[in-house]
């Protein structure tokens, strides 16, 4: 017994949330939100890089001490 082919998913009738938020803000507000999000991303990635470097240094120092 074969199964019927899968039906393509129907697009949601819900409005696009991103579009709603963009339409609710002015261009200046949207620019400020985007800039703030970019800065937060840069800070997060920088902190990950710093923690990674510190962990590598601690690991190599532990190896040389043994």
Extents of the domains making up the chain: 28-65
Residue 5 is predicted with a pLDDT of 63
Phi/psi of residue 54, each to 5°?
-60, -45
Q: State the residue for tokens 């190599």.
A: 60
Whether the CB-CB separation of 22 and 30 falls below 8 Å is answered with yes
Residue 39 is predicted with a pLDDT of 98
More confident residue, 45 or 18: 45
- The answer for residues whose C-beta is within 8 angstroms of residue 30's C-beta and 6 or more apart is 22
Instruction: Using a cut of 0.85, tell me whether the model's pTM lies above it.
Output: no
pLDDT at 60 over 70: yes
């Amino acid at each position: 017994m074969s199964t019927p082919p899968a039906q393509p998913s129907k697009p949601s009738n819900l409005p696009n949330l991103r579009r709603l938020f963009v339409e609710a803000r002015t261009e200046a507000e949207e620019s400020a939100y985007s800039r703030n999000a970019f800065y937060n991303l840069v800070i997060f990635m920088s902190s990950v890089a710093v923690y990674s470097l510190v962990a590598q240094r601690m690991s190599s120092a532990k190896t040389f001490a043994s």
